[in-house]
Each structure stands twice: as C-alpha cells, then as structure tokens.
Chain A
Amino acid sequence: MKKEIYVPIFGIIAAEGLMFFDKIFQGLGIHIVNLFTIIFIIVFSSVRLEEKNILQSLILIIMLRIVNLSMPQFFTVAILQHSLIYGIMFIPIYHVINNQQISLKELGIDFRKLYIYLPVAIFIGIIIGLIEYKILSSISFIEEIKISSMILISIIMFVFIGPVEEIIFRSIIQTRIEKVFGSMSAILLSGGLFGVMHASYGMINEIMFTTMFGIVLSYIFYRTRNLPFIVTIHGTANVMSFGILAKMLI
C-alpha cells in the first residue's frame, strides 16, 4: 500500500486510539493534522485519481468525528442530538458522491428483492443487537418503552445513523478501496476502520465487536450490493441495543 494512503489511515487509528484513552482533544488534534495532510496530498502530490478518491473518502470519517465533538448540545434528549450531527454529515457525503460521480448502483441504492432482504435484515439485526447489548450493556436512549419513543429512536437509527455510517463505510470507503486494493482488503479495511471509530467507548470488547460487525456488514454489502439491506441490519441492531434491550433488561 502506498504511504499516501496508509499514513492517513494510521493517523485516524492514532487519533481514535487517543480517544480510547480518554484523550479527546489530543485525538481531535491528530484528526485535524490528518485532515490537513490529506488535503495537501490531494492538492500537491501526484497520486492517481483512484487513490485521491480513497483519501477524500477518509475525510468523511474525520469530519464525522469533528462534527461530533463540536456540535453544541441543543437538546437535553441525547437521541435528538444525533439527528443534528448525522444530519450535517449528509452534506460532505453529497460532495464526495458528486465529486467522484458515484452511481446509485455503486452506492448500493437498490430496492429490488426488499421483500426478501427486509425480514432477513431485521432478524440479523435483532441477533446482533442482542450480542451488542451483552458486550456493551448499553445505556438506553429512551425514557420508557412507548410508541412515541420507539418511533423517535427508529427514525434516528434508520434515517440518520444507519444510512450515514453505512454510506460512509460501505458505499463509499469500501467501494473506493476495492478499486485500488481489491475486495478482501476493502472488506477488512472498511470493517477495521468502522471498529476503530468506536474506540471512544473506551472498551476493547466494543472495538473488537464493532470490527467484526463492520467486517460482516462489509462482506454482506460486497455480496449483495444492497444498501437498504445493511442499513436495516445496522438500524435494527441499534434500536435493539440502545432502545428495547437497554430499557427492558435494566
């Protein structure tokens, strides 16, 4: 792998590693230095277009963390805060898709066979949610299990968090890496980065779980090329883990 690619990836890992040890601002500083490094490589170096596309995709990960750490807390309800943070991320995602002319097919936006995919995705999501809850013992995002709370958490997970994370890690990063380094590297790297980005939990179990979860989702995406399928798995797992189970099993 060329140093122009692995240096920024290492930078992301280093920044998230610092956050793992609760050094939030040092981590943020590394992310910002890394962002400048990527911009300088793209502007001044003579890397190939496919490699520039990978670098631009990595900017999305850095932006997600910067937006997360800088967004003022407008809402006292934590779950609503996520709609602001992830909502803003649709803007850089749009720029990347537009700049790299990524087609809907490449993004995995395909609604065929949903009658098969949706029930399977919900089933897989429930299983993964159970495992995640066992590992993380998640704090609930809802006050109590009632219809309005369930609708709210479902909207946040299925409209904001699931789509944004899956578009970034699977539809964009995985497909960009695939073009340069092949499918296997793309699955492992996108899954690995997904795991690393959960380092701020400060739990090694969570990083290992989310890395495995990321690799599984990347493999499913590689086989199906269906974004709604993996968004449903991700959303269901989060609703289970941070909503239903966290409230029911206290």
Chain B
Amino acid sequence: MIISNIDQSLEIIDIGGKFISALLVILIIILLLVSGTKYWNRYVSNIFDTCLNPLLLIFLAIVIFKIILIV
C-alpha cells in the first residue's frame, strides 16, 4: 500500500492544494496552446484527459473541503 503513512495534515493539504491548482492552470494553458496545432490528435487529447480529470475532481474536493471548514 503506497500511501498509508503520509501525514495528511491540514498544512500538507493546503500546500498540496496550491500545487495542484497551479498544475491544473498550467496544464489547461498547455492544452489550449497545443489543441490548435498539428501536434493535436486523439492520443494527445487522451493524455490531457488522463491528467486533467482527476485533478479537476481533486480541485472540486478541495473547494468543498474549504467550504465545510468555513461553515
């Protein structure tokens, strides 16, 4: 089991959240830049799906978590 011992403290979530938010934004920018070029194809599109879909879910989870903390 790969993940069992990493301490999921609030600090880690906070910094990890910033990391993935930045990652998400940069990936979307790269996607937009590449999508109109000759390099774009079904395979490349799927590579971005592989990265972006779980990141979007994590981003949503972080937003929900922050709202729960505030409420």
Contacts and interface: CB of A to CB of B under 8 A. Distances in A.
A95 B53 contact: yes
A200 B2 CA distance: 8
Nearest to B15: A25
A95 B49 contact: yes
Interface size class of B (residues with CB under 8 A): 35 or more
A150 interface: no
B54 A67 contact: yes
Contact of A99 (B30, B46, B53): B46
A99 B50 contact: yes
A68 B17 contact: no
Interface string B40-65: 00111011111101110110011011
A24 B54 contact: no
Contacts of A56: 46-47, 50
B12 A66 contact: no
Contacts of B13: 70-73
Interface of B: 1-6, 8, 10, 12-13, 15-17, 19-20, 23, 26-27, 30, 34, 39, 42-44, 46-51, 53-55, 57-58, 61-62, 64-65
- 4 tightest Cβ-Cβ pairs between the two chains A and B: A72-B65, A99-B46, A70-B16, A95-B50
Interface of A: 19, 24-25, 28-29, 32, 35-36, 39, 42-44, 52, 56, 59-60, 63-74, 78, 81-82, 84-85, 88-89, 91-92, 95-96, 98-99, 138-139, 141, 157, 161, 165, 197-198, 200-202, 238, 242
